[in-house]
Structure formats: C-alpha cells, structure tokens
C-alpha cells in the first residue's frame, strides 16, 4: 500500500485564527514514504502448526543443546518486514527521513518478542548484541541488554526466567526442570514468549532446547487478536528503566490483553514527529497509544497534537487513538517548580483533546498524566523513569482505557487498501 505524508489539517482556535507555527510548518513538510506491507501481513494465512526440522538446527559439540535460529520463529513487534537488520524497529526506507537519533534508537529491539512452542524440559538462549555497552548508570544490564522468558500457564503468561548478559555475545540457561504436560500430540507443547533487549540491538538470536525435544511454531493468534497495539512515545515507552524487558508497560498490557505490541518508544525523541506518525499510519493496529508528553514542551503539545491526530485519524478512520498525559514527576509533590511542566503540558493536551472532539474527531481516548504513577514517590529510578513498580502502576492505569478502546475493534486498512484475508 502507499501512504504519502500525512496532511496536517489547519485547525482553527475558537477565536478564529489558524493554528500554525514554525514547528507545525515543519510537520507539514514531512517527507513522503513508500509503504511496504506490515510484517505480520503474511501471517494471516490459515493457522498451521509447523515442526521445525532439527536438521536445520545447530547441535552443540557436546551434544547438550540443539540451537534454533530466532529468525525462523514467530517474531512479534516488527511493524515492518523491510528493515535493514532483522531485529530493527523501523523500515530501512525511514533512514534519512526520521530524525537521526530516532533512526539510531530504532536499532534497539525494544518490544520485540519471539514466540515458540516446545516440549523441552530446559530452554537456553545465545544472543549477540550490537553494542558492548550492556547497562546504563540507572538501568541494569538485564533490562538494557537481557532476555525475558514467559510461559503460557492456563489463561495467563507467567515469568519463568531471564537471560543475563555478560558480554556482547552471551549463552545463558533461561529455565530448567520444566514439567511435562499431561497432553499428547500437539497438546504436549508449551507456548513461550521471549522478550528481547530494551536499549541494545540484537545481531543474532538462537534458542536452545534438549536434543530429544521438538521445536514448533507458535500457536497462531485468532484473527480478532492479531492486530497489535502500537505505542509511540519516549524513553519511558521504550522501557527505561525496567529491570527486565517484560516489565515495560507496553509489554504488561500486551500480556493482559493478549494482543501483540509494537513499541515505538524513542528515548528523548518521542515528539509527535510527522515523519514517525506517517509510518504509524502504515500499520494495521488495534489501537494507537501516543505517549510523547515527557519529551515535548508545552508549546509543542499545543502546536502538534491537533494536526497530528487529525492527520492520523484521516489515514485510519476507525482505529482508536489513546492520548496519554505527562506523568506527575514525584518531586513535584514537594517542589513547586518540578510540578509546573507536567501541569502545563497536561492542560495543553486536555485542551487539544477538547478541540479535536469539538471538531468531530471520533475514537479518541484521553488518560490524564496524574493517573499514571502512585503519588507516593516510590516508583521511579530518578524522578522520571519508572521502576518495575512504576510500570506496573502505569499498566494498571492504562489497562481499562486501552481495553475499552480495543474491544470489538477489527483493524480497518487505510482508505483504498484491501483488507487482509
């Protein structure tokens, strides 16, 4: 399909003057992009269970493990198939179009997750990163560069182990002593979900199982659960500073709602850029969640929200859009100056939502930023980036509104684009 640059409609203030500024003019001039089919488009075929041929796996010299290439398994979170590197988050054609730092951060594998089935009693991983910088001063290596393994247990996803990086290339045992199921045939396989690093890129990934076990493709999602929630935001959205990749709020919501997730969080660079929103509009989504407030000034929120959302709604008339306010920074409970930025930005967002609604833009959902964290100051690393507790609280706040947004939604392709089978 082809979607050109989103056309930013000039929306008038109640006083009658057009909403235009240098920033909005720059948004209006965003470069046109030739869209490729979303990466999951090919996965809409009738569900099949496919055993991976062990002849194409790599057997350890010691005979301890049989290694399967992650490329050959179901990888969720890839919005586009035409990426420069397999585990990138933006298509290769975005290079030189989106801001340079956004492109660099898109090489990080935040939100990507490998799904597979196996009857192995042990699971290991061997992965090579794009950077030898494994951690940050305020975020551990397990979150920046590690892996995170979940198993489907009844009706929920349950954490069972993680991969702790020790070098640019690491081999790690993720889980062992996994009990056999009571089923036979296909029912003897368990479903697994392996999240990739949040603030590092992945060059290669292999998953190891017992040599006598089988590796099977993931259970296909039902057609009404195959459209992803697409998140666009800041370092918080990307996952700073979760202790492990499965603890970001997009990942938590994906598990709770049993929907795939595309994470387009870009640290310091979630600013409602038209070039990025143009790419968002290419994706068949269950909902868009826009969480860019922390990286924007009050003026940017006021100038960009209405034209960007209007353009996104024009491109995707039926896809819900969730607008998330800026977190209330914990220090602001005591320090008045720390409180002012979030208060001003949240007021600007609320005013923008009011204007959009008055203009007849439907399908909008707004969550004020004050509702995101706990208010006790105990849920961030540095006064901005959530801990695991903070992300859990954000997911708790967002879940009702996102659940309402996606209930009963079957994604509708952009105008002129055939529906997926």
pLDDT of 19 reads 36
Question: Average pLDDT of 68-93?
Answer: 97
pLDDT of 49 reads 58
Whether 12 shows a pLDDT value over 80: the answer reads: no
pLDDT of 96 reads 97
Q: Where in the chain is the domain with CATH 2.60.120.260?
A: 48-77+112-217
CATH class label, 22-38+222-406: alpha beta
Question: Average pLDDT of 231-241?
Answer: 98
pLDDT of 54 reads 87
What is the per-residue pLDDT across 362-380, written as a single tens digit (0 to 9) for each?
Answer: 999 999 999 999 989 999 9
What is the per-residue pLDDT across 388-399, written as a single tens digit (0 to 9) for each?
Answer: 999 999 999 999
Question: Average pLDDT of 311-317?
Answer: 97
What is the per-residue pLDDT across 255-301, written as a single tens digit (0 to 9) for each?
Answer: 999 999 999 999 999 999 999 999 999 999 999 999 999 999 999 99
What is the per-residue pLDDT across 275-286, written as a single tens digit (0 to 9) for each?
Answer: 999 999 999 999
User: Per residue, what are the HEC states of the chain?
Assistant: CCCCCCCCCCCECCCCCECCCHHHHHHHCCCCCCCCCECCHHHHCCCCCCECCHHHCEECCCCCCEEEEHHHCEEECCCECCCCCCCCCCCHHHCCCCCHHHHHHCCCCCCCEEEEEECCCCEEEEEEECCCCCCECCECHHHHCCEEEEEEECCEEEEEEEECCCCCEEEEEEECCCCCCCCCHHHHCEEEEEECCCCCCEEEEEEEECCCCCEEECCCCCHHHCCCEEEEECHHHHCCCCCCHHHCHHHHHHHHHCCCEEEEECCCCCCCCHHHHHHHCCCCCCEEEEECHHHCCHHHHHHHHHHHHHHHHHHCCCCCEEEECCCCCHHHHCCHHHHHHHHHHHHHHHHHHHHHHHCCCCCEEEECHHHCCCCCCCCECCCCCECHHHHHHHHHHHHHHHHHHHCCCCCCCCCCCCCCC
Question: Average pLDDT of 312-323?
Answer: 97
Q: Where in the chain is the domain with CATH 3.40.50.1110?
A: 22-38+222-406
What is the per-residue pLDDT across 156-207, written as a single tens digit (0 to 9) for each?
Answer: 999 999 999 999 999 999 999 999 988 777 788 999 999 999 999 999 999 9
48-77+112-217 is classed CATH 2.40.33.20: no
pLDDT band at 409 (very low <50, low <70, confident <90, very high): low
């Amino acid at each position: 399909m082809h979607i050109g640059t989103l056309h930013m409609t000039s929306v008038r203030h109640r006083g009658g003057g057009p909403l235009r500024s240098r920033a909005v003019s720059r948004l209006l001039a965003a470069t046109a992009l030739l869209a490729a089919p979303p990466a999951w488009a090919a996965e809409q075929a009738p569900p099949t269970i496919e055993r991976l041929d062990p002849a194409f796996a790599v057997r350890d010299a010691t005979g301890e493990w049989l290694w399967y290439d992650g490329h050959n398994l179901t990888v969720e979170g890839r919005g586009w198939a035409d990426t420069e590197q397999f585990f990138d988050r933006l298509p290769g054609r975005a290079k030189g179009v989106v801001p340079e730092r956004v492109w660099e951060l898109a090489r990080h594998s935040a939100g990507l997750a490998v799904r597979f089935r196996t009857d192995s009693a042990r699971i290991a991983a061997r992965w090579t990163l794009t950077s030898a910088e494994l951690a940050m001063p305020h975020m551990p290596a397990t979150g920046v560069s590690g892996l995170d393994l979940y198993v489907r247990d009844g009706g929920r996803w349950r954490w069972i182990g993680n991969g702790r990086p020790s070098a640019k290339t690491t081999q790690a045992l993720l889980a062992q002593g996994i009990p056999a199921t009571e089923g036979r045939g296909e029912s003897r396989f368990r479903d697994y979900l392996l999240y990739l690093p949040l603030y590092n890129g992945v060059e290669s990934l292999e998953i190891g199982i017992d040599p006598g076990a089988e590796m099977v493709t993931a259970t296909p999602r039902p057609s009404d659960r195959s459209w992803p929630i697409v998140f666009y935001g800041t370092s918080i959205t990307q996952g700073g500073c979760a202790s492990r990749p499965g603890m970001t709020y997009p990942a938590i919501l994906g598990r709770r709602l049993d929907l795939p997730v595309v994470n387009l969080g870009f640290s310091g660079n979630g600013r409602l850029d038209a070039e990025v929103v143009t790419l968002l509009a290419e994706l068949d989504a269950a909902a868009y969640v826009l969480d860019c407030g922390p990286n924007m000034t009050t003026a940017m929120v006021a100038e960009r929200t209405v034209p960007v959302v209007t353009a996104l709604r024009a491109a995707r008339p039926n896809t819900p859009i969730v607008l998330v306010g800026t977190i209330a920074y914990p220090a602001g409970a005591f320090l008045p100056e720390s409180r002012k930025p979030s208060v001003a930005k949240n007021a600007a967002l609320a005013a923008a939502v009011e204007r959009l609604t008055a203009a007849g833009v439907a399908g909008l959902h707004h969550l004020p930023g004050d509702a995101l964290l706990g208010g006790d100051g105990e849920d961030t690393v540095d006064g901005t980036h959530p801990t695991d507790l903070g992300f859990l609280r954000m997911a708790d706040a967002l879940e009702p509104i996102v659940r309402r947004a996606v209930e009963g939604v079957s994604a509708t392709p952009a105008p002129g684009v055939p529906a997926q089978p």
